[in-house]
Amino acid sequence: MSSRELAKSLIDRIPDGKMYYVLSFLQGAAIPDETPNAETMKAVEELDSGGGFTFDGSTSDLLSEILAEDD
Q: What is the pLDDT along the chain (71 residues), one digit of tens a residue?
A: 899 899 899 999 999 999 999 998 888 888 887 889 999 999 999 999 999 888 899 999 999 988 997 66
Residue 41's pLDDT is 93
Residue 33's pLDDT is 79
Spatial distance between the Cα atoms of 35 and 57, rounded to a whole number of angstroms = 32
Spatial distance between the Cα atoms of 56 and 14, rounded to a whole number of angstroms = 51
**Whether pTM exceeds 0.75:** no
Name the residue range of residue 66's domain: 3-70
Number of domains present in the structure of the chain = 1
Residue 17's pLDDT is 93
Spatial distance between the Cα atoms of 66 and 71, rounded to a whole number of angstroms = 9
